[in-house]
Amino acid sequence: MHWNSLADFLAMGNHGLYVWGSVLMMALLMLAEPILLRHGRKKLVARLRRQYRAERSEARRNSQANPGRSKD
Amino acid sequence: MSNRVINWFRYASPQTFYPLAGQLIPWFWALAALFGALGLTIGFLLAPTDAQQGEGYRIIFLHVPASWMSMFIYLVMAFWAATGLAFNTRLSGMMASALAPTGALFAFLSLWTGALWGKPMWGAWWVWDARLTSELILLFLYIGFIALQAAIDDPRRADKAGAILALVGVVNIPIIYFSVKWWNTLHQGASVSLTKAPSMAAMMLWGMLFCALACWMYSIAVALTRVRTIMLERERHTDWVRALLADKE
C-alpha cells in the first residue's frame, strides 16, 4: 500500500481536485451510458409490442368486418 | 476454406448475431469489472509517486485508456463503415452506428481528464496544441457522424453517408497519434510505444494496461448492447423480431 492515511489518499499530494474530478466524470459517464441504453431499450421494446398488438387487433377487426376476404 | 467464409458471413445477419451478442454481453461486463478493479487498485493504491509530477500523474490511469479507446473505436467504426460500403451487409452499418456514441464519450473523457491534468502540470486547462486540437477534431467527427445519421430518415442511406464521413475522418487518427512527434507540443511524448521500452515504472505500466483492458471490455459490452437495440428498431418489420418480442408476452 502506497498511502499512509485516508486523508493522504484523498489529498493526492495537493492534486485531489484534478485527480478526483477526472475519476468522478469518468465514473459518471461510464455508469450513465449503460443505464441510458437499458432505458432506451425498454422503451423501444414496449413501443414495438404496442405496435404489434395494434396491428393484430386491426387485422382481427378487418377479418370480422369482411369474413369472405380474410384469406387474402 | 470456403466453409469458413460462409460461416463468417452467417454472423453478418442480425438474426444470428442478436442472440450471440446477448450471450456475450455479461462476460464482457464481468471482465470489465475485473480488469477495472485490478487497474484501479494498482494505479491508485499501489503504484509509486511520479518523480516529476507527484500524485497528480495518477490521472494517467484514466486519461491514457480513454484516449486510446477514442482513437481505436474510431478505427473500428471506420472498418465497419468500409465493410458496409464494400459488401452492403446490414450488420456493418449497425455496428458503426453503435460504436459512435461510445467513441464520442471516450473522446470527451480524454479531453476532460486531459484538461484536469494540464491545469496543475502546465498551468492551463487548454492550449491550441497539435495533440489537443486533433483530439478535439476527433470528438467533432464523432458528433458529426451521429448528427449526420440522425438527419437522414432512411437507415441504409444514413449508413452510406456516415460511412463516407467516417472514412474521410480516419486521416485524423495518425495525426493524433504522431502529433507529439511531428510537432513541438506541450503534450508529453508517448508513455508506451511499440518501438521502445516503456518510460515508466512497471507498476504504473500494469495499472495502465489493466485500466485500458477494462475500457476495452466496457466498450465491447456497451457497443453490443447498443447494436442489439438498433437491430430491434431497424428490423421491427421482420418475422424474427416479432417472434422474439411475442415470446416474452
For chain A, give every domain's residue range.
6-64
Query: Which of the four pLDDT bands, split at 50, 70 and 90, describes residue B110?
Result: very high
- How many Å lie between the alpha carbon of B132 and the closest alpha carbon of chain A? 17
A2-23, pLDDT tens digit by residue? 788 888 888 888 888 999 999 9
**In the structure grid, which three cell numbers stand for residue B195, read together?**
518501438
Q: Is the pLDDT of residue B249 over 60?
A: no
Q: pLDDT, tens digit, for every residue of B44-69?
A: 898 888 878 888 889 999 999 999 99
> Which residue range(s) make up the domain with B186?
23-247
CB-CB contact of B117 with B191 (8 Å):
no
Task: Over range B168-192, report the average pLDDT.
Answer: 84
- Distance of alpha carbon B63 from alpha carbon B102, whole angstroms: 15
B-chain CB neighbours of A34 within 8 Å are 221-222, 225
CB–CB contact B246 A52 (8 Å): yes
Contacts of B58 in chain A (CB under 8 A): 12, 19
The CA distance from B167 to B77, in Å, is 9
Query: For chain A, how far is it from start to end, CA to CA, in angstroms?
Result: 76
Task: Note whether B119 contacts A: Cβ–Cβ < 8 A.
Answer: yes
Instruction: Count Cβ–Cβ pairs < 8 Å, chain A vs chain B.
Output: 89
**B1 domain-assigned:** no
Chain B residues within 8 A of A45 when measuring between CB atoms: 232, 245
Q: What confidence score (pLDDT) does residue B10 get? A: 65
- The SS3 of residue B54 is strand
Give residue-wise pLDDT tens across range B76-108: 999 999 999 998 888 899 999 999 999 999 999
At B212, the pLDDT band (50, 70, 90 cuts) reads: very high
Domain count, chain B: 1
Mean pLDDT is highest, among A2-11, B13-22, B178-187, for: B13-22
Q: How far apart are CA A44 and CA A25, in angstroms?
A: 28
CA distance B41 to chain A (A): 10
DSSP A7-58: HHHHHTTTTHHHHHHHHHHHHHHHHHHHHHHHHHHHHHHHHHHHHHHHHHHH
pLDDT at A46 over 50: yes
Residues of A whose CB is below 8 A from B100: none
Instruction: Give SS3 for B20.
Output: helix
Q: Is position B15 within any domain?
A: no
**pLDDT tens-digit profile of B161-172?**
999 999 999 999
Q: Is B66 on the interface with A (CB under 8 A)?
A: yes
DSSP label at A67?
A: G
- Best probe of the A interface among B35, B50, B99, B116, by most A CBs < 10 A, is B116
* Owner of C-alpha cell 413501443: A47
The predicted pLDDT at position B63 comes to 95
Residues 6+ apart with CB under 8 A from B171: none
The residue assigned the cell 489518499 is A9
